[in-house]
Structure 1
């Protein structure tokens, strides 16, 4: 019996079913409907269903079916199944995706930028629409004010996804998975020995074209208060940003990362750099942040270059080593995305550098950079950069504006190219031999603090508890002295850095009680008062809590030479801040040089 391939076309697409000439039409229908999602159905040889085929025992030979015959399936889907699919995130075998809360909110937003009727430009009545007052698509906002004059170069990620869905051929555009993270890994292949002994077209990764990214996952970084960033140590410092992601109030479908607290992990710091050390308490801080309703949202570091005691302008936005470090952190904090075939796309994790203010911007403000201006720069690295780092394609280099393509004897590295200008200023494709400009990977965003009258969460009332891991001896007397300054549990515990310290000394249930008290939960106020009294009594048991102020920052911070210089300066009657500033300005050389600077100010 000659085999037949029967094509079945429906609104869900075209499928193929194998049969023979002796197969009855009833048997063919059974094969089709066993895989079909339709609740009711009928078949015909024409799209209009003018002559339905009957379900009987007639063979395909009798129906004159040929190999490759096309029949049309007309049916309606099961209403309960259709409703079930709409309520679930699972789709096409990709698995369930738990979206971030901000993405859920954006999913319900329209996103189109509404324009008002303007009688000056609109040649119609107030109820009509024209090109001057039509709503603007969220992916086209860069061509319109105020975004055009502000120089905004990236559209929000959600707007980019909707543009991709709008241009897709999927029937249900609103749920289509239209984006995928890049992968540059060599596929597994059993046709030949592993690289470098063999490779073939089936397993060889395609050449890589490095391109700029048109979208960004975060559109603004908002610091709850300018006092969050403390630069008073005279050393380079790093920290993790904790806060929330919220919908941007002014950019359609945009996201703001709101920084509510900064945790400084253990680190080895000096005037040139700060190196992270192992942190056994990081998990506890993450749990504490989760109880507050916060999460780890970014990384911050200082790069305050000095010359003759003045902070200098930073030469680049991000150095190659900073790009690689930030990218590795983004790869640890992937952003779930139900429109991606991988269930994630990019990251919302941000990077902030505290740097010398850009000279031109400082001049516009009326204060040259020679005065030591400081500003915050907010960045992410592109999704392509995340894939290149994850697959070990690029690494840092000694050139400030270039990353280097890795060379490997044990791993196949595909060719890497990018678009650049040649000596005649013409756009050409250039090979990475072996460098790629960092400009392709850096996604900048603004850092700001709330404007007057702008509402922002302010959970903590004070910021005077010593910052963790700065070499200070924070003990029970320190905690007792801080708590005695205020009466109510909410006010007493309302300090982020105090809460970080309490993660080390309080059981989990008591810490959660303190957090509930900070949030204003009246049910735990009495229990929180008992915890407060207990912590105060611990300090009293160890001596006079009022005299047990934290040990001087200069006594333990920095290396031994710097500590000795600070001690000598302060023994001469110079206050701590002035002593640190003078030593920092003279690169911690000698006391004589610092004194000369101090008296010449």
Structure 2
């Protein structure tokens, strides 16, 4: 790099040689010295650093001189260029993880030379470079980063370049930013619509030679590529659910028998009265009380399926997610929102209406025991409960080309329950473990479920009927929560240009029906609702059945929102949805039920404590020990909560022993169970459980015999406990974790 600087100073026309250019690209900026963290803290540390620097605005870097540095061990010295306009943000994060803070006097720099020893590269070495200290600051300006504005029919963009960059580098960056297929067609000018010059004709000239300075506005033009037929290869890269691939291969026609009154043809004939119906036939849907057609029936109605399956498909996919945000890159050329807005970049008006299709038609609980175990916590404590449903998607024959979500297990994340509601904690490691365990069992997260139960006080075991036509079925707050979750779990489909459309994530609410019995209601929210929540257009209101439209703000554009209804004269009229509208316009009803012949995946007849429950429901080593002693492993293993807790102990090897345990749970193989019991991991688990049970019983005897406070404290200290930092099961009486050394609390 120094040779390049000398060349530029003495002979500006001399180009930089390849070796020097390679050396220059080796420069880096050191933001902190090495920190030594435990592996379990790496993810959280990375998130903290990202959050600390996320709000930092982009800034330019300039060099202010040369200085020598050495590391703390004086084993290596560096010759570096001092940097200005940088701020250290790492001290607070380092202190949070009990790490040494940043250097007392941080000097940000970019090192370009190093040598062994702490004082080898000293000031004398710097002075040995001819005239470097006096002229380096001037020469380094040739390497400073500058921003060049380019304006085209796609709007104004800012490109980072340096004065020494060839104009071809600027051309390539413009092509990448604007997604121009043929960069050779790009022209440039310093005036709009005048004197446009092809950028390729200026090849070999640097931006400094062309007098392009920081902040200059350049006008560019380019030729748009001719429309190419859409390739089916892009759609083949989208990995759909297996049920979608299966339904794609089905014709979906609704077969009808021969009408005895109107069909006059032979048995092998066909007429208008007996020919098959399309899966979206409105008369058939109304006759069978199907409020919303299935997603694949909707595809047949749009014609997307036929186009996609054919060989002459030349148009873009038909499905497109609704977006109500202001477009940031408007082709009109005006400053971006909120400085300016036009009809091209502003979202269109929203007319609320019932969504004609649904991604999931039915929710099927593989066994009634799943719901009973989930409700038992409310029955025992009176506190509401929330859980994530894990299962799979299968074809649903009751609806043409329908899809059902089969629920096999419910995972309950950490939460604070109350009689009137509940509060969920932030996503933690436990949810990740639940997803991984479900994936090992061939399941995925299909929805969420929660209770809204209140005893009516009659003593008959009945509950209040709170959700009905005169109050609400699904509150506005629940709509917003469901929209956020559905956006988090998009539905992969090859019929969308983005590869995703809608969501199969369902929401189930357990409440009371008109007879006072406990019942389940299942819902989804429309794609319009998801788009409005994403664009920050709506918010929940105090009245549960009403959704509010937000007021416009400096950084929030609110389009016109309307909804239609029948007035007292039975006429359909349109009304402005501001300031509020009924949540029914955002809901999609989903049916639910149980199979005629239950065949659940997890068949254990013994109940294992559910995760994250308090009191007598707590999961610990003692409860696991009692569970394993209550029967044979081949029967006990088939319990999702047992598998999840066993894996969280970290004793069994995930790559071998844990997978073997999952295989025993799913196949109920005596041979696999015997093989698992002979593994070292399983023997270690049993040993730990026996020692934990023995120490717990010994502590209990000491407490009862001593009867004093010290005996009670000794029993508590000897009880096994799971470290909340590294999930290691501690069986000793120390308050610090034996594995990671962190305290119990």
Uncovered stretches (5+) of structure 2, i.e. residues with no partner: 1-181, 183-228, 699-745
Task: Provide the residue aligned with 2:136 in structure 1.
Answer: none
> Does the CA-based 8 Å contact 2:634-2:670 persist in structure 1?
no
Residue 526 of structure 1, CA deviation: 3.9
The answer to whether residue 296 in structure 2 is matched with residue 154 in structure 1 is no
Residue 209 of structure 1, CA deviation: 1.4
CA distance, structure 2, for counterparts of residue 529 and residue 400 of structure 1: 54
Residue 457 of structure 1, CA deviation: 4.2
Counterpart selection for 2:500 from 313, 333, 344? 344
TM-score, normalised on structure 1? 0.69
Structure 2 counterparts to residues 284-363 of structure 1, below 5 A: 284-308=433-457, 310-315=462-467, 316-357=472-513, 359=514, 362=515
Task: Provide the residue aligned with 2:222 in structure 1.
Answer: none
Q: Deviation per CA, 1:159-178, whole angstroms, max 9, x where unpaired?
A: 10111017999975889621
> Does the CA-based 8 Å contact 2:639-2:665 persist in structure 1?
no
Counterpart selection for 2:693 from 543, 551, 570? 543
Uncovered stretches (5+) of structure 1, i.e. residues with no partner: 1-34, 36-81, 363-368, 549-601
> Does the CA-based 8 Å contact 1:89-1:338 persist in structure 2?
no
The answer to whether residue 388 in structure 2 is matched with residue 246 in structure 1 is no
Task: Provide the residue aligned with 1:585 in structure 2.
Answer: none
Structure 2 counterparts to residues 545-584 of structure 1, below 5 A: none
> Does the CA-based 8 Å contact 2:413-2:431 persist in structure 1?
yes
Counterpart selection for 1:138 from 255, 272, 279? 279
Say which one has the larger Rg: 2
The answer to whether residue 604 in structure 2 is matched with residue 461 in structure 1 is yes
Q: Deviation per CA, 1:51-108, whole angstroms, max 9, x where unpaired?
A: xxxxxxxxxxxxxxxxxxxxxxxxxxxxxxx9x96xx5425xxx82111111001011
CA distance, structure 1, for counterparts of residue 619 and residue 350 of structure 2: 52
> Does the CA-based 8 Å contact 1:97-1:343 persist in structure 2?
yes
Residue 248 of structure 1, CA deviation: 0.8
> Does the CA-based 8 Å contact 1:403-1:437 persist in structure 2?
yes
Residue 337 of structure 1, CA deviation: 1.1
SS at match of 1:246: strand
Judged with a 3 Å threshold, the aligned counterparts in structure 2 of structure 1 residues 438 and 173 are, in CA distance, closer, same or farther, namely farther
CA distance, structure 1, for counterparts of residue 434 and residue 691 of structure 2: 28
Task: Provide the residue aligned with 1:419 in structure 2.
Answer: 564
Structure 2 counterparts to residues 151-550 of structure 1, below 5 A: 151-165=289-303, 177-188=317-328, 189=330, 191-229=333-371, 230-233=374-377, 234-278=382-426, 279-308=428-457, 310-315=462-467, 316-357=472-513, 359=514, 362=515, 369=516, 373-407=517-551, 408-422=553-567, 424-451=569-596, 454=597, 456-471=599-614, 472-487=617-632, 489-506=633-650, 507-509=653-655, 510-520=657-667, 524-530=672-678, 531-544=681-694
SS at match of 1:375: strand
The answer to whether residue 230 in structure 2 is matched with residue 90 in structure 1 is no
Task: Provide the residue aligned with 2:32 in structure 1.
Answer: none
CA distance, structure 2, for counterparts of residue 524 and residue 389 of structure 1: 49
Residue 200 of structure 1, CA deviation: 1.6
Runs of at least 4 residues off by over 6 Å: 166-171, 173-176, 545-548
CA distance, structure 1, for counterparts of residue 501 and residue 273 of structure 2: 35
SS at match of 1:519: helix
SS at match of 2:693: coil
Q: Deviation per CA, 1:85-132, whole angstroms, max 9, x where unpaired?
A: 6xx5425xxx82111111001011111011122434411110111222
> Does the CA-based 8 Å contact 2:300-2:306 persist in structure 1?
no
Which protein, 1 or 2, shows the higher relative CO under an 8 Å CA cutoff with sep ≥ 6?
1
> Does the CA-based 8 Å contact 1:314-1:356 persist in structure 2?
yes
SS at match of 2:344: coil
Task: Provide the residue aligned with 2:244 in structure 1.
Answer: 103
> Does the CA-based 8 Å contact 1:264-1:469 persist in structure 2?
yes
Q: Deviation per CA, 1:342-374, whole angstroms, max 9, x where unpaired?
A: 2111000000000011x2xx3xxxxxx2xxx11
CA distance, structure 2, for counterparts of residue 500 and residue 167 of structure 1: 41
CA distance, structure 1, for counterparts of residue 304 and residue 693 of structure 2: 70
> Does the CA-based 8 Å contact 1:195-1:412 persist in structure 2?
no
Judged with a 3 Å threshold, the aligned counterparts in structure 2 of structure 1 residues 456 and 390 are, in CA distance, closer, same or farther, namely farther
TM-score, normalised on structure 2? 0.56
Residue 478 of structure 1, CA deviation: 1.0
> Does the CA-based 8 Å contact 1:302-1:353 persist in structure 2?
yes
Residue 254 of structure 1, CA deviation: 0.3
> Does the CA-based 8 Å contact 1:351-1:378 persist in structure 2?
yes
